[in-house]
Structure 1
């Protein structure tokens, strides 16, 4: 062992300890490790910083840009509504649908791309189902990885292994050659996540400040059923307003001045006014639902007022306000200030009469729409205290479909080998900006920069392992230590080493280092080198022990995970998959 190898192994141990205990954030640890590699001379400056311009980092950047566009345009909301329509909000059903959908898609496209597509969708589903995102995001990452060995194109690592096999004088991998071991791994892995893994995943609701809570407070508003609405003559149960919009109907107001308690079999009529209760974002989605409108918005709005001129704010009724003890009708906000109140929050309590007839109290929060100058005048007159402006996210269907077509097109270019995956997704990100699906400012603001920094720094570690000979040193020692064991244990030794190296290195780099050594070892021992190459390909996709695999990195920040969470959930899964591979690989590709 040389001094460089010993020093690098020592740095890796220190980094793993810091990653595990998280005394400082993971991206800071990665930056510290990068600096240590430079200052100790283990890696030249140019090669150390090359990771920030690597194809992996650019690929993740481009995928995050496209997924951000899917969120901003509202396509994620449409997909989430479709999934909720079939799975409901029951956690068990939702968990199963997400696992199967992600795994099925990832069998035919890159696991990184599959994780990127479902990240924003699952965040939306978690909010709808009122569960912590941490309970769903790690399963998304693991499900996307579990089908990596089903087809040749499931992951770019398989393509790298196939190319390396050709260089070693072996026939390249066929499209479904890995399936005999890949399908059992996928089935057992998904079953593990459903029955065992989900119980080990921590429930970490994201921390949020006071202003974040304003967006989730419960509002009461009036929803008008329009004459041409498809809901006319349907029952409340058939309308699916509760399921699709997550709104609770607390009262049905029917002309002339009839107030009815909502019942599942009640038939809706044109002109009915529904008093509904829901979160702010769900209330605003009424504007994008055919056949219904927020009643103050449709009946009281100024016809000369353009939508782009208006602003939404949350406003608090303060003490000594002239509004206290009076109704909205008596105050005449529309006539005096040219604003309209769309909804009212009263500490989560239901209001059972028209908003215009409700006596306002100190502490009521109003969702108010109007021109910025009119809203400012409302605040200056001490009528209300404006808490914060509401960023009204609407479904922009033309841009949503445009972003979806671009996303699907870029993945198709990579899937059918028209372009390499990094080039295809970078082209997709460029097209997103070019077609104005999202502005660069919005995309960069939503970027998970911590994940980008972490993977760039860890790519430098992988380069250091190859440059110093550490990876080759470890591989040779595994071959030496297992020389006196049976062929099956020798095969298992390379699986373990591959899994170990894929944690600090990229999957492709680990396979590139180990495959030539494994083939050479098998040839000298008179064994089938193809079995060893297959085992390297399978093991290189078992990246469950740390969040350093790209799919895991994408969920690391949004899920508020800790480094040790992946060890807790991923270690039993890795051991299970190791046993499956140890049994099936020699049977499908005989060692002798």
Structure 2
């Protein structure tokens, strides 16, 4: 072992610990690893920074912008209305549609974008059909992940693997090279989720707030009794709160004291109550004499009078600046005139004050604010709008043009008219010129963390080769018993990829393994391409933990637990492996 290899392995172990620890964001860890390679002299700055200007990163940049253009122009609304019209009241048909449609969409946009795309649609449909969203969200996310293996652009992991192959002297992946194995995996995965996986998903339809059961569609909020309140002097059981508004009282605060809300508790002027109720009942509170939502913003009244205020249901998604923050500490009230009317939150909530409530992934908020600020906050990824209540639909005039640009870009790449990176960047330019999306809007919506992570990890893969670490580790693997068999070699790299994608991102795991796999195959006299294909399939299909971004998006909204993914995703991983180990050696001669 040379000093360079030892230094690289030391940096690698530190990076692996940081990826698993998750206290440091993955993109920051990757950036730190790249800088460590420069500072230790393992890579020159030019070689280290080359990844950010690579065809892979530019291709992903263009695809991210084109995908966001489809969302921005209202294609989500069109798709949601089409699905609702197709499904009607047929829950069985909905289950199939939410497996097949995300599978089709995710073959041409990233699986993460597809999961975010369909999340509000699934939540809305589940609410209207009165079924548990948990029965739909995991299958939808898994279908999106599975479809990522159908085409080159289905997931950024495929693009990273293709870039690494080119970096290591192999021909890059073509647009549909993975399709002969990816499509059977998608079909088998959909059938598994429809007939087996669905039965393994718990049907969680209750949430707990300090003991009482809170059904899926109920919100909780704080109300205050005003001096003229007819409820003052009456017991909770006798008051209009229970009788007329159909609200349940969960807690009562009088001054600095929190009281248990018994049926015969007498209410007094100034009492603050934590109540639960359906959306329509919560929205009746401001029109009810004698009670008001605590901390109501008076300035909203003027907006409401001229029709420029909106009430909306919004959900907190990954990457939101609101995650981990308290409602009171956000400053949204002062900056955006945003009133949080009510909250629908997973998990156990011990009541003190709603203002002190910490927001989590998947929380659904009922908000009121000026209409101009709603889209601004959504574009800044504060939240995703699930439903705008009693307002006209979005203007979808640009959706068809954006779809044509997207299809034309991919068509030029598939037909070989232009390299894929050039085709998607040309599509991006056309989206800007036709005003389907403005550059400012696109740059605000892009997940820059993904580009930083991928650009940095490409440098990591380059350093693994230049320092000789890939050769060194390949020699160790070659000496393992039985690894000379193509079957054992493919199996080894499949499962080591599955394991590494749990603490690391999919792209980072691929960047580590691809150089090692290529050198190992060459030392054994095997074709390295099927081994790399196996890594791409395994790294893209991460089901056994909720750490895959598409799974993270649905994790809290579906109120899943870690073991749910191990139980459902573990069997699905075996299904993917069986199909891959049968087809990969046949299609790419090992």
Q: Same fold (TM over 0.5)?
A: yes
1:75 deviates by 1.9
1:101 aligns with 101
Give the 5 Å matches for 1:350-429: 362-363=291-292, 368=304, 370=306, 388-391=369-372, 394-429=393-428
Give the 5 Å matches for 1:238-257: none
Tell which deviates more after alignment, 92-101 or 437-446. 92-101
Decide which of 513, 538, 543 is 1:542's aligned counterpart: 538
1:176 deviates by 8.4
3-state SS, counterpart of residue 426 of structure 1: helix
Give the 5 Å matches for 1:509-520: 514-515=517-518, 517-518=520-521
Structure 2 CA distance for aligned equivalents of residues 34 and 560 of structure 1: 33
1:436 deviates by 1.1
1:142 deviates by 1.4
Work out whether 1:144 is the aligned partner of 2:80: no
Q: Is the 8 A contact 2:69 2:402 kept in 1?
A: yes
1:78 deviates by 0.5
Give the 5 Å matches for 1:339-358: 347-349=282-284
2:245 aligns with none
Structure 2 CA distance for aligned equivalents of residues 421 and 97 of structure 1: 30
Q: Is the 8 A contact 2:457 2:511 kept in 1?
A: no
3-state SS, counterpart of residue 417 of structure 2: coil
3-state SS, counterpart of residue 304 of structure 2: strand
3-state SS, counterpart of residue 23 of structure 1: coil
Tell which deviates more after alignment, 174-183 or 90-99. 174-183
Q: Is the 8 A contact 1:47 1:460 kept in 2?
A: yes
Q: Is the 8 A contact 2:99 2:140 kept in 1?
A: no
Work out whether 1:462 is the aligned partner of 2:461: yes
Structure 2 CA distance for aligned equivalents of residues 91 and 55 of structure 1: 44
Q: Is the 8 A contact 1:459 1:506 kept in 2?
A: no
Structure 1 CA distance for aligned equivalents of residues 200 and 581 of structure 2: 27
1:441 deviates by 2.3
How much is the aligned-residue C-alpha RMSD, in angstroms? Answer: 5.2
1:34 aligns with 34
2:43 aligns with 43
3-state SS, counterpart of residue 437 of structure 1: coil
Tell which deviates more after alignment, 427-436 or 486-495. 486-495
1:556 deviates by 5.5
Give the 5 Å matches for 1:42-121: 42-87=42-87, 94-104=94-104, 109=108, 112=110, 116=113, 119-121=116-118
Q: Is the 8 A contact 1:471 1:513 kept in 2?
A: yes
Q: Is the 8 A contact 2:30 2:457 kept in 1?
A: yes
Give the 5 Å matches for 1:410-559: 410-482=409-481, 486=485, 488-493=487-492, 495-496=494-495, 503=506, 505=508, 514-515=517-518, 517-518=520-521, 521-522=524-525, 529=527, 533-544=529-540
Distance 1:199-1:423 versus aligned 2 partners, 3 A rule: farther
Distance 1:200-1:145 versus aligned 2 partners, 3 A rule: farther
3-state SS, counterpart of residue 398 of structure 2: helix
Q: How many pairs does the alignment contain?
A: 422
1:408 deviates by 1.8
For structure 2, the 5+ residue unaligned runs are: 128-132, 207-217, 221-268, 270-278, 310-338, 342-366, 376-392
Structure 2 CA distance for aligned equivalents of residues 559 and 88 of structure 1: 26
Structure 2 CA distance for aligned equivalents of residues 398 and 454 of structure 1: 35
List per-residue Cα deviations over 1:562-581 (Å, max 9, x = no partner): 9x999957665444433443
1:119 deviates by 3.7
- Output the TM-score relative to the length of structure 1: 0.56
1:82 deviates by 0.9
Distance 1:140-1:464 versus aligned 2 partners, 3 A rule: farther
Q: Is the 8 A contact 1:4 1:42 kept in 2?
A: yes
Q: Is the 8 A contact 1:134 1:560 kept in 2?
A: no
Structure 2 CA distance for aligned equivalents of residues 46 and 166 of structure 1: 19
Tell which deviates more after alignment, 41-50 or 483-492. 483-492
1:432 deviates by 1.4
3-state SS, counterpart of residue 458 of structure 1: helix
1:74 deviates by 1.7
Structure 2 CA distance for aligned equivalents of residues 72 and 180 of structure 1: 33
Distance 1:179-1:93 versus aligned 2 partners, 3 A rule: same
Decide which of 122, 129, 137 is 1:125's aligned counterpart: 122
1:518 deviates by 2.1
- Output the TM-score relative to the length of structure 2: 0.56
Q: Is the 8 A contact 1:59 1:422 kept in 2?
A: yes
Structure 2 CA distance for aligned equivalents of residues 510 and 11 of structure 1: 15
Q: Is the 8 A contact 1:19 1:29 kept in 2?
A: yes
Structure 1 CA distance for aligned equivalents of residues 15 and 122 of structure 2: 35
1:177 deviates by 8.4
